[in-house]
Structure 1
Amino acid sequence: MEGVDPAVPPSGTGCAECDAATPQGWWFHLRRCAQCGHVGCCDSSPGQHASAHAASSGHRLVRSFEPGEEWFWDYAEEVMYERGPDLAPPVHHPLTQSAPGPADRLPLDWAQKLHQ
């Protein structure tokens, strides 16, 4: 697949922008850039950082960073691929990390704050 670098590891275990924010943010699900490894939050999350990264960097492909999910999404073509190339580990966030999460950052009304 063009736009995929299978050797690049993920940038971390959570959304890079949510983790760097003050106060720190939270996410619904995570996406990993298949080109540079940037981990961002999904479009249902308040920050929508994965799609913002795709728009600003031109990196069009992400892979789910959720356990048990191997699908890729192409932002440019708006197409989902059930599988793609194997990426450098880890291929998902830690199993001990909640989704949505991180649990200690979730507001009580988190479900009402999701984007549809």
Structure 2
Amino acid sequence: MTIECTHLSQLQPVTPSADGCQECLASRDTWVHLRICLICGHVGCCDSSKNKHATKHFHSTGHPLVKSLEPGENWGWCYADKTYVYLSSVIN
């Protein structure tokens, strides 16, 4: 059974909020990979990072869609529907 994201209508044109994980930069911490919120542009670290700021951003704001900020990756994740979102046909 394939689960489809039901939140694609919430996608917004966004600008990254920082050149790295916003919260890790502020606390001088490190991260593994970066994710950008496709609703507001918040940049947070992934769940492989110790602080998991992208997921924390979802829990605090309810913004369900993130995209990988890693070079060459064009996939996203919907936290609410718990499914990958392949964005090449949706956004650049």
**TM-score after normalising by structure 2:** 0.86
Secondary structure in structure 2 of the residue aligned to 1:73: strand
What's the RMSD between the two structures over aligned residues?
0.9
Partner AA of 1:59 in structure 2? H
Alignment correspondent of 2:58: 54
**What are the superposed Cα offsets for residues 51-97 of structure 1, whole Å, 9 maximum, x if unpaired?**
000110010000001000010100001100122323xxxxxxxxxxx
Relative to its length, the structure with more strand (as a share) is 2
**What are the superposed Cα offsets for residues 14-40 of structure 1, whole Å, 9 maximum, x if unpaired?**
00000011xx11001000000000000
Is residue 81 of structure 2 the alignment partner of residue 77 of structure 1?
Answer: yes
Q: Which runs of 5 or more residues in structure 1 are unaligned?
A: 87-116
Structure 1 segments, 4+ long, off by >2 Å, are none
Is residue 10 of structure 2 the alignment partner of residue 3 of structure 1?
Answer: yes
What is the total number of aligned residue pairs between the two structures?
A: 83
Is residue 47 of structure 2 the alignment partner of residue 43 of structure 1?
Answer: yes
Relative to its length, the structure with more helix (as a share) is 2
Greater radius of gyration (CA): 1
Q: Which runs of 5 or more residues in structure 2 are unaligned?
A: 1-7
